[in-house]
Structure 1
């Protein structure tokens, strides 16, 4: 069907863009966080196989004498209005940086930093909080928690914690009933945030920074693989960071990371098939790029991936770029995506996807949340602006390209908003 010029009204923004009729079908944005609460810029969204979305964020009561941030959550079913707001952490604690993931049926796990430790809870598909709050870490400080949930419901939380003056990468399972499993010490680590993904059989892939290298392990129901080094051929005088993981249906993984120092910072990816050793790292960004801080990766069930990153151009502005990485390791052409920042992206089962971002890039004078559809061949669609008052968007999808986007408003009180489409 031919594209046409239409007016799209979503939330606070009315914009005329050239889109197909399907691209214009965004629901009206709605406010997820409670009235009178001031939210932070770290909302998260996780969508189950039916399209029901769990939104999580931290916020503090602006009427209280002290601003202690609380982790809150809310389920938005695909076919009806949002459920009630649920409180996951107690007031008076210092909670931050929530992460969430969902099983096929919508049962979810949420983890976050709280008072120097890592805490977690389970949330049912209907939005009920399951079991007591669990302190997952064994030592402090503990930072950078991430979580993945297997299709059947078992969750794996991973984080970094100090033990005896040294950083270690640590993991722990969290069952559907909220029971915490034994502590798995994966090895020495760093303060950098780890990454975790899971395949359709419930096999987890964990990657983290260990000193001046990136390493990975698989965690299966009954065993843990040896540690594999991904970055041995790469010299990064400034070390590595921003580790990301994408996993296909069978457990083949793409692990991306940013290298610092040397001639220029760069974005790399390592492919690790479910059998054998990891392949040699692939340079994703150009050798001429002065790469920015943020990048994102997503992998479909067949093993094809999309990567998006930023770089500083000659005018000292951040611009965004993207390219496809096929299941065979072939790198597609680089697409210039404009002056944007904070990319996040997702691919559905077949590789159709969405990129979200905020604009313009630094220096920030205003913020708009934008989206681009991604075809399964790796082509980016036109920009749709969701709001002129938003930043740090996040996106997730059900199996067949119905996307939920969440963001923080730029204007006070920085509330959390979301929409679904197209």
Structure 2
């Protein structure tokens, strides 16, 4: 879990990013040069992740295989990108020969992190120290299999909570488990029946977790403290969804008020919704975030600042059948801001700093008249705390699936996969 969600973009250095007048520039208004994150001669996958601590140090995580080996087995790898611009060594978290995928990472205030991933049809995890060194062995988190869709959040003091779904006795079950600062495990926490959909997790500044997941034909959530697990709160009872629910996202403010975003398949088209669940247990009626006429696409992103204000960006198909991005602000009081059409794009990701200044990153497939007839570029837009989107800055003309996280005040680290072979993982920090 990062402030952006919660639930993972070659660039030349530039003097800044052009934005609308309503977007305040940070004093450090310059982008670093993009750097290679993964090792030369390794081929990476399109699932990199980034988590930034409160000093601005970033843990970068990805999967990649050594092309010089016969089978190029995938490994989960990490390295730290420090706020001073230096990078640590690449660390391999997973064993040789294992089948690994979909790493997720989060960090505490001082940079101690937890990484979880799928490995051989199970969910596993490992701690990484702020220096980048590994803490303890790989730990098997799941209790049955197959297990899928791991997510993770870390409290300010360092306790991690992972959540996922697994098959037990032929049915899906949602499960959570602590992965402690020293790398040891807590007992499994059975949340209840679930689905193959990936859950979502967030944590407040007091260390209270919010986990949301799809249970049959509804979205439910629970709160977990150091001593208790709440009963499940059904978020979607007032929404008809003939196609079911999915793509759950969670944002949590400093005190524990949560915003949970999700897709529904109700009526003749998918919609994007958000439910607001207060720290006292009050559940507001679901808010339709997309327009009822939107032909909503697959992906959306949600980020919440420490005051509880959120930004939500989703994809929809325009009148030409092409994907475009759309965004709006959702205030802590539940007021929906105006909708902004953001132009062509897909795979959005968002991060907000403590006060709500943010960044949206995304990629766009651009058609060309020559072979291979398209290229994929990754871009960024700043977002003001009032919900105004700045102009688009192209980060690279050869990058896909960018991910972003923020330090406490308006400085962002972006990671992406090079779109062309060998799919090198790259990163940049700015503005």
Q: TM-score range by the shorter chain?
A: over 0.9
1:229–1:84 CA distance, 2 compared to 1 (3 A)? same
Aligned to 2:428: 419
Q: Please say if 1:137 is aligned against 2:142.
A: yes
User: Which of these residues, 310, 332, 342, is aligned with residue 305 of structure 1?
Assistant: 310
- Does 1:408 find its partner at 2:417? yes
- Measure how far apart 1:18 and its partner are: 4.0
Please identify, of 352-361 and 74-83, the stretch whose mean Cα deviation from structure 2 is larger. 352-361
| Number of the residue aligned with 2:321 | 316
Say if 1:264 and 1:379 are closer, same or farther in 2 by CA, change over 3 A: same
Of 74, 78, 82 in structure 2, the residue corresponding to residue 77 of structure 1 is 82
Q: 1:46 pairs with 41, 51, 54, which one?
A: 51
Q: Are the structure 2 counterparts of residues 320 and 33 from structure 1 closer, same or farther at C-alpha, using a change threshold of 3 Å?
A: same
Matched ranges for 1:211-226 at <5 A: 211-226=216-231
Instruction: Show the counterpart of 2:5.
Output: none
Alpha-carbon distance, 1:47 to partner: 0.1
What is the TM-score of this pair, normalised by structure 1?
0.95
Unaligned runs of 5+ in 2: 1-9
Residue 32 (structure 1) shift: 0.3
1:357-368 alignment runs, 5 A limit: 357-360=362-365, 365-368=374-377
Q: CA RMSD in A?
A: 1.8
How high is the TM-score relative to the length of structure 2? 0.93
Structure 1 gaps of 5+ residues are 1-9
Q: Which whole-Å CA distance do the structure 1 matches of 2:135 and 2:15 have between them?
A: 42
Where in structure 1 do 4 or more consecutive aligned residues deviate above 3 Å? 12-24, 360-364
Q: Which residue of 1 is the match for residue 253 of structure 2? A: 248
Whole-angstrom distance in 1 between the partners of 2:131 and 2:86: 12
Q: Distance in 2 between matches of 1:409 and 1:15?
A: 23
SS in 2 for 1:25: coil
Contact 1:347 1:397 in 2 (8 A): yes
Match of 1:392 among 394, 398, 401: 401
- Stretch of structure 1 that moved more, 12-21 or 344-353: 12-21
Match of 1:180 among 185, 195, 203: 185
2:389 is equivalent to residue 380 of structure 1: yes
Q: Distance in 2 between matches of 1:368 and 1:30?
A: 16
Asked if the contact 2:362–2:378 (Cα under 8 Å) also holds between the matched residues in 1, the reply is: yes
| 1:350 corresponds to 2:355 | yes
CA shift in 2, pair 1:322/1:306, >3 Å? same
Larger strand share, 1 or 2: 1
- Distance, in Å, in 2 between the alignment partners of 1:278 and 1:161 is 28
With CA pairs under 8 Å and 6+ residues apart, which has the higher RCO, 1 or 2?
Answer: 2
Q: Distance in 1 between matches of 2:19 and 2:387?
A: 18
Does the Cα contact within 8 Å between 2:100 and 2:119 map onto a contact in 1?
yes
